Structure 1
Amino acid sequence: MSTIQWFPGHMHLTRKAIAERIKDIDVVIELLDARLPASSANPLLAELTGNRPTLKVLNKQDLADPARTPVWLDWYNAREGTRAIALDASERAPARRLADGCRQLAPNRRGMARPMRVLIVGVPNVGKSTLINTLSARREAKTGDEAGITKQEQRIVLEDDFYLWDTPGMLWPRIVVPESGERLAASGAIGRNAYDDEEVAMALLGYLKQHYGAQLDARFRLGLAPEALAALHDDELLERIARKRGAVMSGGRLNLQKAAELVLVDFRAGAIGPITLETPEDWRVWQAAADQREAERAERKSEQRKRDDRRARNRAQDEGG
């Protein structure tokens, strides 16, 4: 599967807005999807925010694997200048923990003379608007389950001395880890025109059958033993789900597009069960492979430039001769 890419024009503007706004910001909140804590983290954030103290918020923890979330929190909390908490943005109670996390990262920012200034960033559809509505107890931000709802920066006063700037959801210009693109697409962070539902659903099923086979079997009533389920090819698994869910067209042909949509909708809604699609060790392996590919790509480009330069010099010599 090729790496999924999605970077609409408004994201270029968001990137510029963050670079400008960050000059006056004390703490950055990066909202992550607790089901894909590394894949939903923006690799350009440190560059964009000038290494400001960062609060990593693993959102939608109610949809994530409760055994894996603490592992990810430890992974992020081990970083300098970083704190990590997990929450469900639809709840009111965690709001104080989020504010306290920011205060701990910037303890000198308090009172009207030195108010706390916070920028919140995250990938599309990660629950940022819902969180802001919860924190402010008002319908400040538009919400929806479509990637890219928020299109402009918004300023919200959470407390007299606590100002929060919301930005539109933003990815990065080139996703170099294919597994990251698959997971972002599965979560709904990427616009539907940028990926194939069947390919993304099969990649999702390929992971679920290995790590969450019991939940997968129960949800779709497949009636398969764990070994039999794990041995199925991803396309065969999607076909079985199509039959079980009645995704059949005239003539008995399977509607795999419809089956793929059902799988993705169920995953996004948490209907399959609490699931986390990656571990820190998974991420290290994927990132190392991506770094190797990028190094090889850079080497190929360098060699191509050298060949182009030699050809240009040879042409110049021929013309001069």
Structure 2
Amino acid sequence: MASSPYIAVTMGDGAGIGPEIIVRALLDPQVSATARCVVIGDAARLRQAAGIVGLEPEIVPVTGVTDAEFTPGRINVIDLGLLPADLPFGRMSPVAGDAAYHYVRVASKLAMAGDVQAICTAPLNKEALHAGGHVFPGHTELLAQLTGTAEVSMMLSTPKVKVIHVTTHIGLIDAVERIEPGLVERTIRRGHQAMVDAGVPAPRIGVCGINPHAGENGLFGRGEEESKIVPAVQTCRSDGIDVQGPLPADTLFFLAGRGDHDLVVAMYHDQGHGPVKVLGLEAGVNITVGLPVIRTSVDHGTAFDIAGKGIADHRSMIEALRLAVEMAPQPVAG
């Protein structure tokens, strides 16, 4: 354990499935053997969740990472105490949204100070986050502001395919307007570097078009592929990056799924998210690329419809923690 990285695990929206999947994941023997996890959240809510899923861990409030002890069956939590005892599961709550913001804020502070080597986030609810007074489209943009990062990218990772997005949480019309060669080029480069850092020395990258059939030589759309994507691909290729495109998105995901590409560059949110969730939601991980800290997350939402019922699947949280350990900087002795 002394050589394992410290991971700050944010509890997400306390009315969702975050507390349940965290308790289950942190008691997994493989997780406890490879990571020193400290939850940023509410100890009382974690105890409630443990009871719901039928587990009896020792949930111990700690003042900081250095106070945590790592023994089987113990969950360490920096207890912010922000949730009322009677907060219902499965309902949007401004209080839970505000608390979710502060969990991320504290985790970011720990990461920027070097007290933890990575952040792994449970899902938050955007409506609750906004109602709580924090208007961010999601974790990606929130973490960018908290760490003073001008531009980041969302990457989704499954065992079959990895996808990085040029745009994410904006409307489709706005996404097409925002896409331009510089942004596409920076996204390709961020994805390439992330893959190299993950141990793929020469990643094969495929870039999606915007229109059906990647515009089919101008038959569909208004020439967006030629004006917005081609210059970026050419520039990256001239610098030695193995990148192809723009390619029809449906064909590209098929090719990536069978192993022809290591990374897909998607132009907008649903173009990338849809195939990833079909190919492996239970093992999917969301990674924020471009931050000065490592951040991974489950690739699903708060699932209010099943929250508090003890049936949430925690495999994505286990995979997110595994990837956080894999991507973390040089382990810290302790």
TM above 0.5: no
Task: Give the structure with the larger strand fraction.
Answer: 2
Q: TM-score, normalised by structure 2?
A: 0.30
Q: TM-score, normalised by structure 1?
A: 0.30
Q: Which has the larger radius of gyration?
A: 1
